[in-house]
Amino acid sequence: QVHLVESGGGSVQAGGSLRLSCTTSGISGSLNLVAWFRQAPGKEREGVAGIYTGDDRAYYADSVKGRFTITEDNAKNMVYLQMNALKPEDTAMYYCAALERAPPMTARQVLGGPVYQYWGQGTQVTVSS
């Protein structure tokens, strides 16, 4: 059974950094897609970053390019989201999502949401000004 668990959220001041972690278990196959999404109260869910765990192809939303970095550690079954230069508008619940044996997709599909089979429970990120 596939399980995703997020951690690393918290409260920081604008300009600060956080690193989110997604622990993945039960996922088989060598080429999978893991992504981070976020949802703020009253707003739609937004794809933030995604990575193919077999070849490290990564995709980012325009709103986080240059500030966020998604990486993986296959040996530990972990995917990370390093978030730097945080802004108040980054405040949201952040979710990890995964798709096994993912086919090639466009950036729009990777960050779109409906393609993912599995979702974590989320971790809260709050950025104060």
pLDDT, tens digit (0-9, with 9 covering 90-100), for 12-36: 999 999 999 999 988 776 668 999 9
Beta carbons of 21 and 10 less than 8 angstroms apart: no
Mean pLDDT of the chain: 93
pLDDT, tens digit (0-9, with 9 covering 90-100), for 44-65: 999 999 999 878 899 999 999 9
Q: What does the pLDDT read at residue 25? A: 86
Which of the pair, 100 or 93, is modelled with greater confidence? 93
**Residue 17, token pair as written in the block:** 């950094």
% of the chain surpassing 70 pLDDT: 98
Q: How many whole angstroms separate alpha carbon 92 and alpha carbon 88?
A: 9
Amino acid at residue number 89 = E
**With 0-12 CB in 10 A as exposed, 13-18 as middle and 19+ as buried, what is 73?**
exposed
Q: Which of 83, 70, 82 is nearest to 34 (CA)?
A: 70
